[in-house]
Amino acid sequence: MADAAKTSPKISLIVITRNEEDLIGQCLKSAAAFCDELIVVDSFSTDRTVEIARGLAARVFQRPFEGYIAQKQFALEQAGGEWVFSLDADEQATWKLGEEIRAALARPQPAAGYRVRRVLYHLGHYYTRGLYPDWHLRLFRRERARFCGHEPHASVQVDGGVAKLTAPILHFSYRDVADHVATINRLSSQAAAEGEPGALTVVKMIANPAWRFMNFYFLRGGFRQGGRGLYAAMSAACYVFLKYAKLYERRLRTQRRL
């Protein structure tokens, strides 16, 4: 047992939070079986998020929210493990994923990072088919990784090869349709703030949502999932439409000031 402990690499879980008392407990518990350290970076929650996290032996750091990329990079810098596993507060690692991670890291030459598929649970249904081929780099060597991307979509960049794991993460993102709509509104505002309106913004406000709907509903097979598939395609198109509508609004405001 002592020899196995020496050769088993240490894994740190990192999670960022803000008022996630309903979800953070199950998130941390799902990773505790295979992670040696639980790190939570909290943006001064006003509910029981911090209390729950500390009750599950997580190391909790509190700092103002400066964007998803900065917040996750700060969490990464607090990790002490050779490997880091990143979850959102509304996600849970499956038992099979934990076993697969330990097996992958026990190999003689593991990759520098591993992509993991997310399975969305919404409207009483797990979207397990191709509608959400939602692969994310979530397991990586700490010293070879950094967070980058465009707000609100933080992504990990690693120095070295990347492989895929087969077991999924479960994503419990929305309580109901109203919560989903609120999330779409919030994230589209953040995405629009990162972009710059241009002469083609109006064209994109028509073409890009139409393409997103076609992609989700026909190419990814949303039509095979009945009403849930239609909902997924329409909501995806709605996000894109709102993003460009908000960019167009900024353009009109700029023109009025000139």
% of residues, the chain, pLDDT over 90: 78
Strands 11-17 and 134-141: unpaired
Q: Are residues 181 and 91 in the same domain?
A: no
C-beta separation of 187 from 211 below 8 A: no
Q: Which residues pair with 37 in a beta bridge?
A: 12
50-67 pLDDT tens trace: 999 999 999 999 999 999
Task: Name the domain boundary from 171, 206, 239.
Answer: 171
The whole-number average pLDDT for the span 76-92 is 98
208 pLDDT tier (thresholds 50, 70, 90): very high
d(CA 146, CA 169): 21
Q: Where are the alpha helices (DSSP H) in 44-148?
A: 49-55, 68-78, 95-105
Q: Final residue of a domain: which of 130, 145, 171?
A: 171
Total domains, the chain: 2
pLDDT at 182: 95
Query: Which CATH number covers residue 143?
Result: 3.90.550.10
- Do 124 and 218 reside in the same domain of the chain? no
With cut-offs at 50, 70 and 90, classify the pLDDT of residue 27. very high
**Residue 144 and residue 199 in one domain:** no
Q: Measuring CA to CA, how many Å separate 21 from each of 51, 55, 170, 256?
A: 9, 12, 18, 44
Distance CA 191, CA 199 (A): 18
Are residue 35 and residue 153 in the same domain, yes or no?
Answer: yes
Q: Are 25 and 86 contained in the same domain?
A: yes
Average pLDDT value for residue range 35-63: 98
CA distances from 237 to 65, 101, 193, 206 (A): 28, 34, 19, 10
Task: Please report the pLDDT score of residue 257 as a whole number.
Answer: 74
- Are 116 and 236 members of one domain? no
**Predicted confidence band at 254 (pLDDT cuts at 50, 70, 90)?**
confident
Instruction: Give pLDDT, residue 130.
Output: 66
**Which of 152, 171, 190 is the last residue before a domain boundary?**
171
Q: Is the pLDDT of residue 3 over 50?
A: no
Share the mean pLDDT of the chain: 92
pLDDT at 122: 87
Given a cut of 90, is residue 133 above it in pLDDT?
no
Shared-domain flag, residues 94 and 124? yes
133 and 183 both lie in a single domain = no
Query: What is the value of pTM for the model shown?
Result: 0.82
Q: What's the half-sphere exposure (Cβ side, CA atoms, 13 Å) at 71? A: 25
Tokens 């040696």 — which residue? 36
Instruction: Check whether residue 40 and residue 161 sit in a common domain.
Output: yes
pLDDT of residue 242: 97
Is there a single domain that holds both residue 147 and residue 207? Answer: no
Q: Average pLDDT, stretch 146-168?
A: 94
% of the chain at pLDDT higher than 70:
95
pLDDT of amino acid 235: 95
Q: How confident is the model at residue 117 (pLDDT cuts 50, 70, 90)?
A: very high
- Examine the domain organization and report whether 30 and 92 are in the same domain: yes
Residue 4 pLDDT grade (very low, low, confident, very high; cuts 50, 70, 90): very low
Q: What pLDDT score does 5 carry?
A: 43
- Tell me which of 137 and 256 has the higher pLDDT: 137
Domain that holds residue 250: 177-257
